[in-house]
Amino acid sequence: MCGIVGYIGERQAASILLDGLSKLEYRGYDSAGIAVYNGEKIQMSKAKGRLKVLSELTHDGETLPGTIGIGHTRWATHGAPSDANSHPHFNESMSIAVVHNGIIENYIKIKKMLESKGYQFASDTDTEVVAHLLDYYYKGNALEAITKVMHRVEGSYALGILFAEKPDTLYAVRKDSPLIVGKSANGNLIASDVPAVLKYTRDVYFIENEEIAVIQQDNMKFYNMYEEELTKESVKIEWDVEAAEKGGYEHFMLKEMHEQPKAVADTLSPRLKEGKIVLDELNMTEEEMKAIRKIMIVACGSAYHTGVTAKYILEGLARIPVEVDVASEFRYRNPILEEGTLVIIISQSGETADSLAALRMAKNMGSKVLAIVNVVGSSIAREADSVLYTWAGPEIAVATTKAYSAQLIAHYLLAMKLAEVRGTVTLEELAVLIEDLKRIPEQIELLLGNREKIQKFANRYVAAKDVFFIGRGIDYAISLEGSLKLKEISYIHSEAYAAGELKHGTISLIEDGTLVVALLTQEELYKKTVSNVVEVKTRGAVVLSVTNAGNTDMEKNSDYTIYIPKTNKYFTNSLAVVPLQLFAYYISIGRGCDVDKPRNLAKSVTVE
């Protein structure tokens, strides 16, 4: 996820671009850049790091005069954060400039074609192919070149485009990535999100999928990808700036929960091609995958919880023994890493101190290390032997939601790929699994639509002192994350237990009114877990159960039941965790807690 802005009008563009980018830095902060047409040519300035580096470099935009320009703040996907990989990107003659939010999935194929035509590339990004492809198709008609590019590229994109030969026109394009156009008395703007334009206008047009905006100082037109003109109506924005930065949501955490379907889809789509799982990032041959004798998963916090889930899935599908370790324990317990052990390090930030130390230890002991991270160019990504990126985009709230969901998807894909190569699932079984995977974003969306029902139940338990989460198998892994979400943002004491362990001491803590959240998504374990639910009910517990659609028997044994859509048993975490996230969120709101910045916690733990 990146932020783009553009301006054409009476005023100097650079300062407006920098101001707009400052409102979009939550969308990316690896690097930033702007390009402005000065009357003779397109000038550019870009720099690695936070936006202030670019502001200082350009003296707040004064070194780039001109009244039309585009800008970008980057969340790195293809290519590590660097000056060269920063946007904007140009064709070789620097007569076409492009900024991009999204992922071009077939960029390698296009790049090879362009290289065969003599085009040379200056970056490692997927975006640069767009600039050169525009050059390839441009014969004086900018709109025609843009539509040809749209028909050629695959993936998601919001584009801002400048043509030096069209100095009175700014072009914007959208497919699956957000884009708006703002109309003001002193000029017109484009942006990834409303906050970037609110200082200048509240009249905006929302660009829909596969639409093009052709914008001039006092005019704008809209087209589809077949060059047919469209009629659009503007919308008056009534939000204040703070609300707009959160997309109209009260908190970043709620916004990021609602971004989970996209985060899941973005992590899935580049790896599902023609009904197959493609994980070229693993840098492993099929022989190397078959030679794996053991997997060691190492992580912290919520990332560790996805690792617990992965253990059940990898062992169940790929039939590889798996151990899961908290990074701070792994690095100090003198672990045994035998030949054939693959170590997986999971981290949202890619900078988690204990996880990074565990990675270095594993490499020193001769193991191959695979990283699952969300930040391109982070320390863990750089030092691992291979990287499986999650495309969740920046996550502002300290309590992770969408990054957790994207990590789960990475584990599913890995397990399925290993199972396919090792022959532990048939091609028919794999095809069914892939179809179930494809449905997950839509199913998450459905669960998010029921948030008001969860809010009503949560409101009854804002004064709870102790909450217990129980489950068996993958349900136990889900319980771990549900418990953590509740305790870290509401400050309620909460614990997760393997349901079969209740009689080994924990059940002594159950008394009248104690809230127990029971997870029952694994059908083969229903009866076992139901017996545990009956045990706590008998001792006065109030039970909230989360189970699969159709398992109506749970209503007899629960005070409140939440149903998740049916999916493969290995994928239920992706669905069951959503109501638990919402439950924790609404409990926290009811208690007046700072949801986005809970006390004593930091987003990235970079010290031991």
Catalytic positions: 2, 603
Residue 316 half-sphere exposure, CB side, CA atoms within 13 Å? 15
Residue 272 bridge partners (DSSP)? 277
CA dihedral 542, 548, 551, 557 (to 10 degrees): -10
Helices (H), 332-450: 353-364, 379-383, 402-422, 427-448
The values of phi and psi at residue 199, to 5°, are -65, -20
Distance CA 514, CA 536 (A): 9
Distance CA 555, CA 528 (A): 16
Q: Cβ(89)–Cβ(132) under 8 Å?
A: no
Length of the chain: 608
Q: Is the peptide bond before 88 cis (omega within 30 degrees of 0)?
A: yes
Helix axis angle, 572-590 relative to 474-490, nearest 10°? Answer: 20
Closest by alpha carbon to 231, among 197, 205, 193, 194?
205
Helices (H), 224-352: 241-245, 252-258, 260-268, 286-290, 301-313, 327-330
Distance CA 284, CA 344 (A): 14
Query: What does 566-589 look like in DSSP terms, one character per residue?
Result: ---GGGHHHHHHHHHHHHHHHHHH
Closest by alpha carbon to 17, among 253, 274, 196?
196
Plot region of 62 (φ>0 → left; ψ -120 to 50 → alpha; else → beta): alpha
Q: Cβ(223)–Cβ(214) under 8 Å?
A: yes
Two tokens at 606?
């970079």
3-state secondary structure at position 328 = helix
Q: Cβ(346)–Cβ(325) under 8 Å?
A: no
Instruction: Give helix then strand counts, H and E, for the chain.
Output: 20, 27
The values of phi and psi at residue 13, to 5°, are -75, -40
Distance CA 314, CA 327 (A): 19
Helices (H), 138-203: 142-152
Residue 296 bridge partners (DSSP)? 323, 343
Distance CA 204, CA 536 (A): 55
DSSP 8-state secondary structure symbol assigned to residue 606: -
Q: Cβ(268)–Cβ(439) under 8 Å?
A: no
Tokens 């502002």 belong to: 396
If 0-12 CB within 10 Å is exposed, 13-18 middle and 19+ buried, where does residue 50 land? middle
Distance CA 230, CA 369 (A): 51
Closest by alpha carbon to 46, among 77, 66, 25, 70?
70
Q: Cβ(544)–Cβ(560) under 8 Å?
A: yes
